């Protein structure tokens, strides 16, 4: 809800004559808290209900965390604006330890991301990584109850909600390369035929440098399917008129990891994303990601088989 309030506040300042209302909604991604996103449908879980509301005329725009948006928007919708990026880094949160380096062997680290899982497993094989789902309060509550020695969260979310004090340390991109679009909000609108030009209305909120880095980062992910079922990271920065893009693909256990980077004109963000994707492809990124998807599918099949077996074993009347 913070992100919607933030956008309403900015629009109210720009257009004081307008009454900007928030339509509160809970998406399936918010409701499913006992499984990781990669197991229940991925990024689209946070978007579909909002698009239905816009298509039905109940809402004029939707505010998304860009990293949760699918690479391809459905027909009839477009990304009207990308807001200025917050801190894109991952945050180390713990009540007892100052950093990942300080954790003892066997310590349990919680994360909802296969990307973070792979990066941490590769660098800290002595740690135990377990899934972590739920909203921010739920995740922090699990940490405070001692279910985890530490959890890894997006720094932007903590800072936006006034919880920066919970951050013990920020993970440099060399340690935990961010996800495509991490720390960035995007505004999605429906294509309309009533003459209301939402793109022009939202234009003052658009931040071109943040949009350019997101184009490069998301292009890498798009080339390889844009799935949250695979550990993929891509992160771009701009200095002057030059962009530096880094990307990584790995197996979930971190045993196999490849990376690539390139520099070029910021205005050629999409081409730079394609260039880095091709560098990854040359290192067998497709093979790595295909293996990840196959393992995920097998794990889903095994889980369904176990559920069916458990149901079959129940005594009559206890189903």
Q: Are 167 and 158 in contact (CB under 8 A)?
A: yes
Alpha carbon dihedral 99, 105, 110, 113, in 10-degree steps, equals: 90
Other CB atoms within a 10 A radius of the CB of residue 16 amount to: 8
Q: Are 188 and 82 in contact (CB under 8 A)?
A: no
What gap in Å lies between CA 66 and CA 60, rounded to an integer?
A: 18
Measured N-to-C along each axis, helices 269-281 and 285-313 cross at an angle, to the nearest 10 degrees, of 80
What gap in Å lies between CA 211 and CA 80, rounded to an integer?
A: 11
- Burial 155-166, CB ≥16 within 10 A → b, else e: bbbbebeebeeb
Rg, Å, the chain Cα set = 21
Task: Determine the 3-state secondary structure of 35 from DSSP.
Answer: coil
Q: Which of 68, 90, 174, 301 is catalytic?
A: 68
68 belongs to the catalytic site: yes
Active site residues: 68
């Amino acid at each position: 809800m913070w992100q919607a309030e933030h956008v309403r506040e900015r629009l109210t300042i720009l257009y004081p004559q307008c009454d900007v209302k928030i339509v509160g909604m809970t998406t399936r991604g918010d409701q499913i808290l006992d499984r990781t996103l990669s197991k229940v449908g991925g990024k689209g879980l946070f978007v579909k209900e909002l698009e239905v509301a816009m298509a039905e005329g109940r809402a004029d725009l939707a505010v998304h965390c860009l990293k949760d948006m699918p690479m391809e928007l459905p027909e009839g919708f477009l990304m009207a604006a990308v807001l200025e990026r917050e801190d894109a880094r991952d945050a180390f949160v713990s009540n007892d330890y100052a950093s990942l380096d300080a954790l003892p062997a066997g310590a349990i680290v919680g994360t909802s991301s296969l990307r973070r899982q792979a990066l941490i497993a590769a660098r800290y094989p002595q740690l135990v990584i377990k899934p972590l789902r739920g909203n921010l309060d739920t995740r922090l509550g699990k940490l405070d109850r001692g279910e985890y020695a530490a959890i890894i969260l997006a720094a932007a979310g903590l800072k936006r909600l006034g919880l920066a004090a919970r951050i013990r340390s920020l993970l440099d991109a060399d340690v935990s390369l961010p996800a495509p679009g991490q720390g960035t909000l995007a505004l999605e609108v429906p294509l309309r035929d009533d003459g209301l030009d939402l793109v022009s209305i939202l234009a003052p909120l658009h931040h071109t440098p943040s949009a350019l880095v997101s184009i490069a980062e998301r292009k890498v992910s798009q080339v390889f399917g844009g799935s949250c079922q695979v550990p993929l990271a891509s992160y771009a920065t701009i200095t002057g008129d030059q962009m530096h893009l880094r990307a990584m693909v790995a197996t979930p256990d971190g045993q196999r990891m490849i990376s690539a980077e390139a520099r070029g004109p910021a205005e050629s963000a999409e081409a730079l994303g394609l260039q880095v994707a091709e560098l990854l492809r040359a290192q067998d990124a497709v093979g790595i990601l295909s293996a990840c998807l196959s393992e995920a599918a097998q794990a889903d099949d095994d889980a369904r088989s176990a559920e069916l077996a458990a149901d079959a074993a129940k005594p009559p009347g206890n189903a």
